[in-house]
Structure formats: structure tokens, C-alpha cells
Amino acid sequence: MAANEFDTLEGQLVISARPATLCYGKPWEFIATLLQILKVTFPVKRSNRFIVFGHQTPSPDDVNTMWAKFDSSGNPLNWYAYVKGAWRIFYTVAPGEVRWFVGASSNPPAGWRALRSTADGVSQDILDKLIPQYAEVTPGLYSYYAARYIGY
């Protein structure tokens, strides 16, 4: 069941051909004939854009598309989606997924929370195994750390 209007694609059943005869002998012959006669059309045109690409931020008209961001030399950088008023990296993560990051643990990437305590959604047993692997810069600040995706 569709949750909203974006989870469905509605089409129209149309007659695409009329065979000379509609006679058939076996059920699968009838089905084969139906497949020749009936087609489904969808309201998607060749001019519809579902993905924009390039190194420049897409226009406001493109907020309902995905953005494949490239650098000015044409090298792919990342996928972006327009979320809560800004173009943000589109992460493909499992709920609660944990990843390792290099950078300041006080400023993880948007949508991620550095794991430091059980309040961050991970059990103490797991934290006891993760935190000793962190690279500490100063007490409580790490340059290599684990973070959990919490969303935007």
C-alpha cells in the first residue's frame, strides 16, 4: 500500500493493436493474444528529469530530483537530495548503522552522531569495544571515531 503520492505510479490501460482474429485454443494462447492487444502507458515523458548532474548546485526547480554531484573535472563526488531546505548527502544506510569517520568528533557530518555514551543509541558493551579504537587528539576529542546515522 502506498504511503503517499510519491510511492505510486499510475498508468492507463490502452489497446495497442487489434489482431485479425481473436480465436485461441489454449489459455496461454489467450494470454499471449492479450499481451499483444493491451499495453500500459505511464505519464512519464522523455523530458522528465529524475536526476540532475553537474558541479553547480541545482536550481530551485530541481528540488524534487536527485543530484549526482561531480567536480569541475567530471569526477563523481556524491549523491544529494533536497532535505529540510538544503542539498544534503543522500546516505544509503541501515537504521542505526555505525560507520568510522576521520575528522573532529565534535563536528561529525550532518545526519551523524559520534558515539560516546549509551545515550547515543548503542549499548555499553559495544562502546567498550569501539572507544579504545578511537584516535584521541585531546581528552574527549577524537580524530578517528565511530558515528551512528540519526538522519537530518
Name the H helices within the chain: 27-37, 124-130
Name the H helices within 11-152: 27-37, 124-130
pLDDT at residue 4 in the model: 58
In this structure, the answer to whether residues 65 and 108 fall within a common structural domain is no
Mean pLDDT per segment of 10 residues, for the chain of length 152 residues? 61 81 80 84 74 91 91 92 91 85 94 85 88 94 93 83
Domains contained in the chain, number: 3
- What cell numbers appear for 67 in the block? 543530484
In this structure, the answer to whether residues 106 and 144 fall within a common structural domain is yes
Residue 21 lies in a domain: yes
Q: Taking a C-beta distance cutoff of 8 angstroms, is the pair 142, 148 a contact?
A: no
In this structure, the answer to whether residues 84 and 63 fall within a common structural domain is yes
Residue 19 lies in a domain: yes
In this structure, the answer to whether residues 144 and 104 fall within a common structural domain is yes
In this structure, the answer to whether residues 34 and 72 fall within a common structural domain is no
pLDDT at residue 147 in the model: 93
In this structure, the answer to whether residues 57 and 83 fall within a common structural domain is yes
In this structure, the answer to whether residues 84 and 119 fall within a common structural domain is no
Q: Taking a C-beta distance cutoff of 8 angstroms, is the pair 50, 66 a contact?
A: yes
Domain residues for 85? 51-89
Q: What is the spatial distance between Cα 133 and Cα 146, in angstroms, rounded to a whole number?
A: 9
Q: What is the spatial distance between Cα 25 and Cα 46, in angstroms, rounded to a whole number?
A: 40
Residue 46 lies in a domain: no
Model-level pTM?
A: 0.58
Residue 110 lies in a domain: yes
